Chains A and B, each alone.
Chain A
Amino acid sequence: MKRVGIGRAPKAPVTPRALQRVGAVLGLPVGLVTVWWFASAGSTDFYFPPLSRILAAFRDTWFGARLRDDVLPSLARLGTGYAIALVVGIAVGVAIGSSRSLRALVEPVLEFLRAIPPPVLVPIVILVAGIGDTMKVLVIASGCVWPILLNTVEGVRSVDEVLADTCRAYGIRGAARLRHLVLRAASPRIVTGARQALSIAIILMVISEMFAASSGLGFTVVQFQRGFAIPEMWSGVLLLGLMGVALSLAFRLFESRVLRWYHGVRATERADAR
């Protein structure tokens, strides 16, 4: 039985329950870091230095000119490549998803292209686009576009028939239909694709800088590795991990806004099923 809840729920106070949830989220990471600290404290292994040294290297390496010269350009390339993948993936995905004949025509080729691991394409992209920023942005975009495109196609295909008939009956066509029906109905799938693409984007950001680069976060980490600056290398790995977490959290925040209706519908369905 659907409940008749109208309007927004009141804000809950900070309860022991909320603190418990924060504890659940942070508990394991804090625990693991603590274990790492104490387990590695007396380490003399060259390749696995104590955590204290890694953190010291972190502080010395990444706050300063490196932030401006390496980290920010890498993030900018990441953002640009991801944005291109979003635009191209959604546009092409909507076109393919809307036309059965086009989909039948294109699907085998898409499956083939999608299966090629992006790192394998990097030398080819270098031949085409050189070794500058364009190459890196292209590599990131070419890897990210596939989950977005394929998920968009699925999302567009799964638009509810009754809703589509409603739009036809009320004369909602063209751009209005695209905006109010197709894109909104497909948005849960598109967001799933975008989330997968984000993970791929971070990986490709590093890989694109491994082959031929002169600056960047991935380039710096690889340089440290080749120069046997091990604590600095580990600090770079740590930074990449933290960056991934930060981006993921930002994405979750964005998703909770855009898909608020979807989470509401799913919660109602789960409640009804009980």
Chain B
Amino acid sequence: MIEIRGLRKVYDAHRRRVEAIADLTFALDAGEFVCVVGPSGCGKTTLLRCVAGLLPPTSGVVRVRGAPVTGPPPELAVVFQEYGRSLFPWLRVGDNVELPLRSQGLPREQRRALVDSALTAVGLADTHGAYPWQLSGGMQQRVAIARAVAYQPKVLLMDEPFAAVDAQTRADLEDLIRGVWQRLGVTLLFVTHDIDEAIYLGQRVIVLSAAPTVVVEDLAINLPDTRDQLATRADPRFTELRGRVYAQIQRAKAGATLRPDRARQPVRDSTRE
């Protein structure tokens, strides 16, 4: 579904040449939920923008559904971290969720039905008439998620979507996105800086090094499919995975990045149950 090979991004500006991403290679099958985690400034957002077609890579190949990405691919939705700035403040919640559908040329009845079901799916069934700035941060991010859901994408990209909400809201939203993923069967690429979140949510966790970024580890998460905030996080396997990822990231932050040729054979932990 998503294929990234040899992705490299160099920023060339103001007499500074920054190699943000050195070499990223990994792939997502259809319907997979994969989290990408890494130290701050490791180019996670750059990676997501390259996959979303918002940023052209310096070299390397990004394919979504078999086709190379030259611009934002169809049937791909993005949820940004800054929920306040990604919703249209002059439109009510219902119109916000409906707007991408209007560009698709769907008839009005169908659009209404999609908007209603999407808002119900995120738990905001009564807020059609409110403006986004009248809602709390968590609710605004739910509206952004509803907008992505109503769009009926095949691929969903999320860029640290819960980084700017409080911890309790974050827990609710994590469970929400897992539910949405299971119901819709989308391919989900989830970027986060929160290790616990990555392990709690993903079927696989891809650990990145510091800039110039390479894949350090591609870890399969051998936790049960039904995740629960209390039970799953208390599971000894959770703690073990967490420790492993944390150690990798600490090494990455200390500058001990694996050499690119070693990174091309990512360590796959295939003890899935």
Residues of A within 8 A of B (CB): 1-7, 160-163, 165-166, 168-173, 176, 180-181, 184, 187, 261-262, 264-265, 268
Which of chain A's residues have a CB closer than 8 A to the CB of B53?
Answer: 168-169
For the complex, is B219 an interface residue (Cβ under 8 Å from A)? no
Given A4-B135, A5-B134, A172-B103, residue A162 in contact with residue B80 (CB < 8 A): yes
Question: Complex Cα distance A50/B148, Å?
Answer: 70
Question: Complex Cα distance A264/B90, Å?
Answer: 10
Interchain CB contact under 8 A, A261 and B72: no
Given A2-B136, A169-B78, residue A176 in contact with residue B90 (CB < 8 A): no
Total A-B residue pairs with C-beta atoms closer than 8 Å? 86
Question: Complex Cα distance A176/B129, Å?
Answer: 22
Q: How large is the interface on B (under 10, 10 to 19, 20 to 34, 35 or more residues)?
A: 20 to 34
Report the minimum CB–CB distance from B168 to chain A (whole Å).
14
Which of chain B's residues have a CB closer than 8 A to the CB of A264?
Answer: 89, 131, 133-134
Interchain CB contact under 8 A, B103 and A268: no
12 contacts between A and B (CB under 8 A): A3-B134, A4-B136, A162-B85, A165-B80, A166-B86, A180-B88, A181-B88, A261-B91, A262-B90, A264-B89, A264-B131, A264-B133
A2 touches which one: B74, B90, B134, B151 (CB < 8 A)? B134
Which of chain B's residues have a CB closer than 8 A to the CB of A181?
Answer: 88
Which of chain A's residues have a CB closer than 8 A to the CB of B100?
Answer: 170-172
The SS class assigned to the A binding surface is helix
For the complex, is B195 an interface residue (Cβ under 8 Å from A)? no
Interchain CB contact under 8 A, A169 and B134: no
A162-B80, A165-B86 known; 20 other A-B pairs, CB under 8 Å? A2-B133, A161-B85, A162-B82, A163-B88, A165-B80, A169-B53, A169-B72, A170-B72, A170-B99, A170-B103, A171-B74, A173-B103, A180-B91, A261-B89, A261-B131, A261-B133, A262-B89, A264-B131, A265-B133, A268-B133
Q: Most B CB atoms within 10 A — which of A1, A6, A166, A176?
A: A166
Report the minimum CB–CB distance from B152 to chain A (whole Å).
12
> Which 5 pairs between the two chains have the least Cβ-Cβ distance?
A170-B100, A162-B85, A261-B90, A169-B78, A6-B130
